A and B are shown apart, each in its own frame.
Chain A
Amino acid sequence: MSANRASLTAACCIALSALWPWHLYTALPGAGVRLTDLLCAALVAAAVVDAVRARSLRLPFELAWPAALVAVLLIIAHGTNAQASRPIAALIVFAAGVQAMRDPRVVRTAIAAAAFSVALSALVSPMLESVRIMPTAYALSAPAVMYGPRSLSEGFWMYLAGAACGLAVALDAAHPPRLRQYGAAASVIAITAVGRPAYALIVAAPVWEPPALLSQGAVQAAATVVGAWLIARVGARLIVASQDRRAWGPLAIAAGVGAWAVSRAVDTGLEVAPHEGFLLAVAVAAARVSGERRQHVPRWVWPALAASGLLVAWGAVHVDPHQTDDPRHYEARVAADLRAGDVEQARARLVRVQEFAAFDRRLRLCWARTELAAGRLREAALHLAAALAPLDEERRQTLPVPTPEVWRPLLADVRDAVSADGDPAAVMAYAYALAAAGEAEGAVDLLGERMAALPPPDGVDPTPVAALLAALFDEPGLADAIAQWPKERLWGAAAAMGVCASQVAVSSGPASVPSAVALAVVYGYDEVAWVAALPAGATSGRLRLTGAPETASPGVPRSVVWLAAPDEDRGADQRFLLVAQPGGERLATLRMHGDRVAVTTSGGDVAARLPVGWCMLLLSPDAERGAAGLDADARSVGLEDGT
């Protein structure tokens, strides 16, 4: 092997060792491939060139025959599908790794890189969880989450392997004393992180199942036995090497290999990844009693690793939508649940994912698909509306914002289901979705056609209701057209929107809200659904939908009142609090700075929590009429029981 190629393969090996715990985060943006897989491919290419040039395979025969036999048996059992191709790829990378790693120093450095990388993963995971980054592994209704492994059971093994590598570093006399201390520390960090995946492993086995071996076909069972023999042989080599060298390091590596084998036997659903073949090759190389040709670790590998750390950081907060095998790709997981007909699992998954991707528009689309599959049309349409509605500020999205090609078919599906069903609430929700999709006029027309007529209360001015309907469709300019509808139809539409609900409390608005701003407070029997601020009389502009507070007590008819917040007045920046009555919880804060108005609530997710029965209170603050005028205005909306 030329010096350059030897250095390159050494660099490949060390980079793979350092990056495997972050495998899922190494997707190269736009390339559709992960860096770890590329490194595996590079390692295989280098090993092939080396084997051809040297005309020798460095994989010992006693390891080569079980590896080859497993590959043949897998092909016989499964053909060339993913179930066979992934383990075979791992076996090829295994052979290439054994061929590539020649110098004991490279092996030692690779083991140290793996140990510190796993320890870093254990240290970083709680930080990622605290900032609500989407985990790669999670339990559906248990609090355990992990960052890096594909499942919690894999994380269990990953930390054990990291601890074993750290121990090997600590016990290797060839390392400088400082590095051995760090190795021991890495081992302790990794072993303390095992607790959470261990808990997950405990809950992962709900019923006793016979060993998978018995339920497989004969050929697959033979492949499993031969594979186990291969693993055991590697373990035996490490034990014998430990005896020969009178060193504990190889024994620690053997423990890591054993942990891998046991974790696979316990959780048979795990797929083998190519980089796992490389890790087995590291174990084989660690068992070598004497090093052969000298192979230098190039210095540039460390800055290159630091640079790939940036890729990992990017990958931790961005999921490539094409990498559907990424467990964070919740859309693919939910689609699989729905294909399997397991709507409940899809819902449980969405609830769990929502903790980490509350503002993801694709998550709303997934909710819409799931609710549609469950036959809950109104909820499906509301989720679709939430997925498409413009936001005041764009939040970080785990998966990219859906394109029209993605949501249009779903909108069509919801339309078909809603028109077949005919439920007015579902029609109303679909109208929201249409408006959010930029077809407000179509939404208003739909309402005009489909809503049942209701007799209007006596002496009620339809103008504020029309303005509110138009505003809720984000098209204030349509208010005049809606006001021209026959009153019965307008009231029918308003009733479907929940404008006329049975429980009403009139509140006074903040007196000094400028007349250029109208406020709409939409609340239900049990919670405020949203607070909206919109420019009064504006022909365009966004209705600012904000979240629902978490604090409301369910089932209690409530009203709201605006209170000035004198302590927080700062110059031109005035604040008002929207307070629930009874209860006194602060539901929202209104901030005014000059002409700008912002309403924020105590958080929550609007579309997921829209109440069944709403009340609506329209406040049209007018500087000339004052607070009394507001009361009158609110009453004039006619919020008696019109449903």
Chain B
Amino acid sequence: MRNAVERMRAERRWTGAVLIALALAALLLRAALAALSGSISVPLR
């Protein structure tokens, strides 16, 4: 098990990676939904 300082460093590294992954996932999902919804076209709430 890592000590607290090592863990903190690892968390910091992962934070950047997670942030990029989330942003990419959101962008891709939006693009995919927009592409799909163009063909389905049902109005929602």
Contact = CB atoms under 8 A, between A and B. Distances in A.
A338 interface: no
Contacts of A233: 11, 15, 18
Interface in A188-208: 200-208
B34 A208 contact: yes
B37 A205 contact: yes
Given A140-B44, A203-B40, A239-B14, A244 B34 contact: no
Interface in A52-98: 62
Contacts of A231: 22
Given A204-B37, A206-B37, A62 B42 contact: no
A262 B29 contact: yes
A546 interface: no
Contacts of A205: 30, 33-34, 37
B36 A202 contact: yes
Contacts of A261: 22, 26
A258 B26 CA distance: 10
Given A62-B11, A139-B42, A258-B25, A203 B18 contact: no
Contact of A142 (B13, B34, B44): B44
Contact of A237 (B11, B25, B33, B40): B11
A202 B40 contact: yes
A229 B12 CA distance: 10
A206 B42 CA distance: 8
A211 B43 contact: no
A202 B37 contact: yes
A144 B25 CA distance: 24
B1 interface: yes
B45 A228 contact: no
A151 B45 contact: yes
A204 B10 CA distance: 38
A240 interface: yes
B12 to A, nearest CB: 7
B37 A203 contact: yes
Contacts of B15: 229, 232-233, 235-236
Interface residues of A, number: 40
Interface string B1-34: 1100001101111111111011101110111011
Contacts of B33: 201-202, 204-205, 266
Contact of A62 (B8, B26, B27, B34): B8
Contacts of A265: 22-23, 26, 29-30
Contacts of B11: 62, 233, 236-237, 240
A236 B12 contact: yes
Contacts of B19: 228-229, 232
A138 interface: yes
A2 interface: no
Contact of B22 (A209, A228, A289): A228
Nearest to B22: A261
A387 B25 CA distance: 49
Contact of A228 (B14, B23, B27): B23
Contact of A262 (B22, B38, B40): B22
A140 B45 contact: yes
Nearest to A151: B45
Given A205-B30, A232-B22, A258-B25, A139 B45 contact: yes
A615 interface: no
Given A140-B45, A202-B40, A205-B37, A240 B25 contact: no
Nearest to A258: B22
A235 B30 CA distance: 21
A496 interface: no
Nearest to A150: B45
Contact of A203 (B27, B29, B42): B42
Contacts of B18: 232-233, 235-236, 239, 254, 258
Nearest to B13: A236
Nearest to B28: A262
Interface string A222-258: 0000001101110111011001100000000010001
Given A228-B19, A228-B22, A240-B14, A266 B45 contact: no
A389 interface: no
Contacts of A258: 18, 21-22, 25
Nearest to A228: B19
A141 interface: yes
B1 A244 contact: yes
A200 B42 CA distance: 9
Nearest to B12: A236
Interface of B: 1-2, 7-8, 10-19, 21-23, 25-27, 29-31, 33-34, 36-38, 40-45
14 contacts: A62-B11, A139-B44, A203-B42, A204-B33, A207-B34, A233-B18, A236-B11, A236-B13, A239-B14, A240-B10, A240-B11, A258-B25, A262-B29, A265-B30
